[in-house]
Amino acid sequence: MDKLGLDPTVVARARRLAERAGAPVVQLARSHTTVSVERAVLRLAGVSGADSDGIPWVNRLVDAVRADVGLGHGVAVPVFDALAREGLDDVTVLAQKAAAGSVRFGVPERSGPAKRAARRATTAGLKRVDRRRIERERLIARLGDAPRRPWIYLIVATGDIYEDIPQAQAAARAGADVIAVIRSTGQSLLDYVPEGATREGFAGTYATQENFRLMRSALDETSRELGRYVRLTNYASGLCMPEMAVMAGLERLDMMLNDSMYGILFRDINPIRTFVDQRFSRQIHARAGIIINTGEDNYLTTADAVEAAHTVTVSQLLNEYFAHEAGLADWQLGLGHAFEINPEVPDSFRMELAHALLARELFPDAPLKWMPPTKHMTGDVFRGNLLDGFFNLAGVLTGQGILLVGMMTEAVVTPWLSDRDIALQNVRYVLGGAGDLHEDFVPAPGGFIRSRAHHVLGEAVELLEKIVDDTLLNAIADGTFGIMKRPADRGKGLDGVAAQEPGYFNPVLPAEDQR
């Protein structure tokens, strides 16, 4: 493909630096656990439902185990040891008794039987995830896949799952290949996953397992009607990232937003909590055949898209390293980037092309996620529609994999039916009119676009060198990404992190991750 003439030794160096920057963080993730990782394990073991206050039984059970023996051993052994002692076979019933205070948890001398029982229970959950993956593959083979790349990605966000469903179905009929249900504002900071079908949300709909199931089933119906498999997206982010990944695997969601640093930078979630949760969630995504979408677009909404272009590249390389380490394949890496350069800047479109093509060439086998302008959408909807047209054109010219449809009412209202229709007309016109124009689009050697791409890659390598010297955690603390400063000993969710004790056991993790 080579359209930029990137130096392969520089590219290899960038990857090696990303690995060196990320490796200590992986070590950190491998030596800690979190309340959410342990709750995710219990969800796979079949614990479901919530108490009368809506607090899930997984939360009550993890809290009870933690109060008795701490988190450092993992909850699996104490829970399955207690299950046998109590003579129960349903872990949810154990959670209910534990919540009432009638069960004591301990770490037995002989942990073999509890480990075997835990592994049996979680393997049943993982088998369900595996079956869902096969089901997806069969549906795609039988019904057909999206008719072209990029996939057209549309958002619904009413707050009411029963309103979302017809909107999502209408969007799919209008041409969307991927439906994303935006979560309610603030859900990322809840340290539990709400239960059941929900009809109230703020600027989005709560992610619950039942909402996942309802939407997937509705889109299956629409997929059959349209003769193509319509993908469903939600968010594995925030304090419940591992649980979201498990729920997505169990309900056959197809893509999940899952960035390695988004929660740290933009939600002020503790860095260690995020890295531990992120690694586990990616291991689940890898197994479930889910495509992750990373969040580099967000850096450009807070920092300047020209000055900070290389921070996107750096984050993409880190996301790629963390993803590979957790077992994700290249086809599962929806690495993010965005069209956020100030349109008043001369040559802004050429620079957008340079940045987008750089991502394309650096990650040739990843389905890149191309995000529309938001920062420079002014409320002038006419100008916004034009900007979105250029965004679509850049996406076609640079072979992006997933195109999030831009709305000219960005920053004005949540999209109206007519906004979505106009935005889709824009996409269809550009995709149809430009056709295979990317074949003819080869930037001139020594020209502006190539030079700009080389320059950004050079800056990315320099920054990675600094990060390796300084350590990634310090770089995050110093505000290297997206301007926000996030020290490792601060942020939300830190109290839910525990160092693994010798003998830590997690039945879901592969053998090499057990201590």
Please give the positions annotated as active site.
262, 297, 369
Query: Cα separation of 513 and 515, whole Å?
Result: 6
Q: Return the number of the residue (23 or 381) whose C-beta is nearest another protein.
A: 381
Inter-residue contact 402 to 369 (CB < 8 Å): yes
386 lines the binding site for another protein (CB under 8 A): no
Q: Return the number of the residue (189 or 386) whose C-beta is nearest another protein.
A: 189
Alpha-carbon Rg of the chain, whole angstroms? 23
Token pair of 206, please?
A: 């709560």
List beta partners, residue 346: none
Coil vs helix vs strand at 41: helix
191 lines the binding site for another protein (CB under 8 A): no
Inter-residue contact 298 to 244 (CB < 8 Å): no
CA 181 to chain centre: 13
190 lines the binding site for another protein (CB under 8 A): no
Among 3, 216, 267, 273, which residue sits at the site for another protein (rule: CB under 8 A)?
267
Q: Return the number of the residue (412 or 442) whose C-beta is nearest another protein.
A: 412
Query: Cα separation of 242 and 273, whole Å?
Result: 11
| Least distance in angstroms from the C-beta of 353 to another protein | 25
| Least distance in angstroms from the C-beta of 309 to another protein | 16
Q: Which stretch binds another protein (CB under 8 A): 79-87, 262-270, 329-337, 455-463?
A: 262-270
Inter-residue contact 299 to 345 (CB < 8 Å): no
Which residues, 398 to 427, sit near another protein by CB under 8 A?
A: 411, 414, 416-418, 421-422
* One-letter amino acid of 110: R
| Least distance in angstroms from the C-beta of 351 to another protein | 19
Size of interface with another protein, in residues (CB under 8 A): 25
| Least distance in angstroms from the C-beta of 444 to another protein | 34
- Identify the CA nearest to 450 among candidates 378, 377, 355: 355
**What is the DSSP-derived secondary structure letter of residue 345?**
S
Inter-residue contact 368 to 400 (CB < 8 Å): yes
List beta partners, residue 234: 256
174 lines the binding site for another protein (CB under 8 A): yes
Q: Return the number of the residue (123 or 302) whose C-beta is nearest another protein.
A: 302
Token pair of 252, please?
A: 């056959």
Q: CB-side exposure of 77: number of CA atoms within 13 Å?
A: 21
Query: Residue 170 contacts by C-beta under 8 Å, 6 or more apart in sequence?
Result: 417
Q: Return the number of the residue (344 or 365) whose C-beta is nearest another protein.
A: 344
Inter-residue contact 459 to 315 (CB < 8 Å): no
Q: Which stretch binds another protein (CB under 8 A): 35-43, 146-154, 184-192, 466-474?
A: 184-192
202 lines the binding site for another protein (CB under 8 A): yes
Q: Is 422 exposed, middle or buried (0-12, 13-18, 19+ CB in 10 A)?
A: middle
CA 213 to chain centre: 19
Among 27, 31, 185, 342, which residue sits at the site for another protein (rule: CB under 8 A)?
185
Query: Cα separation of 447 and 452, whole Å?
Result: 9
| Least distance in angstroms from the C-beta of 178 to another protein | 18
Q: Return the number of the residue (481 or 505) whose C-beta is nearest another protein.
A: 481
Query: Cα separation of 219 and 177, whole Å?
Result: 11
Among 153, 266, 390, 481, which residue sits at the site for another protein (rule: CB under 8 A)?
266
Q: Which stretch binds another protein (CB under 8 A): 78-86, 266-274, 346-354, 446-454?
A: 266-274
Among 189, 214, 226, 494, which residue sits at the site for another protein (rule: CB under 8 A)?
189
Residue with tokens 């968010």: 235
| Least distance in angstroms from the C-beta of 270 to another protein | 13
* One-letter amino acid of 55: I
214 lines the binding site for another protein (CB under 8 A): no
CB atoms within 10 A of CB 89: 11
Q: Return the number of the residue (47 or 300) whose C-beta is nearest another protein.
A: 300
60 lines the binding site for another protein (CB under 8 A): no
Coil vs helix vs strand at 49: coil
302 lines the binding site for another protein (CB under 8 A): yes
Q: Return the number of the residue (157 or 318) whose C-beta is nearest another protein.
A: 157
Q: What angle do CA 368, 508, 292 make, to 5 degrees?
A: 10
428 lines the binding site for another protein (CB under 8 A): no
| Least distance in angstroms from the C-beta of 301 to another protein | 7
| Least distance in angstroms from the C-beta of 387 to another protein | 17
| Least distance in angstroms from the C-beta of 272 to another protein | 19
Which residues, 340 to 379, sit near another protein by CB under 8 A?
A: 375, 379
| Least distance in angstroms from the C-beta of 484 to another protein | 6
Query: Cα separation of 406 and 15, whole Å?
Result: 31
Which residues, 467 to 506, sit near another protein by CB under 8 A?
A: 483-484
Among 116, 131, 173, 490, which residue sits at the site for another protein (rule: CB under 8 A)?
173
Among 1, 203, 345, 437, which residue sits at the site for another protein (rule: CB under 8 A)?
203
Q: What angle do CA 204, 207, 213 make, to 5 degrees?
A: 120
Alpha helices in 88-237 (DSSP H): 91-99, 112-143, 161-173, 209-226
Q: Return the number of the residue (411 or 499) whose C-beta is nearest another protein.
A: 411
Q: Return the number of the residue (434 or 484) whose C-beta is nearest another protein.
A: 484
For another protein, the binding residues (CB under 8 A) are: 170, 173-174, 185-186, 189, 202-203, 266-268, 301-302, 304, 375, 379, 411, 414, 416-418, 421-422, 483-484
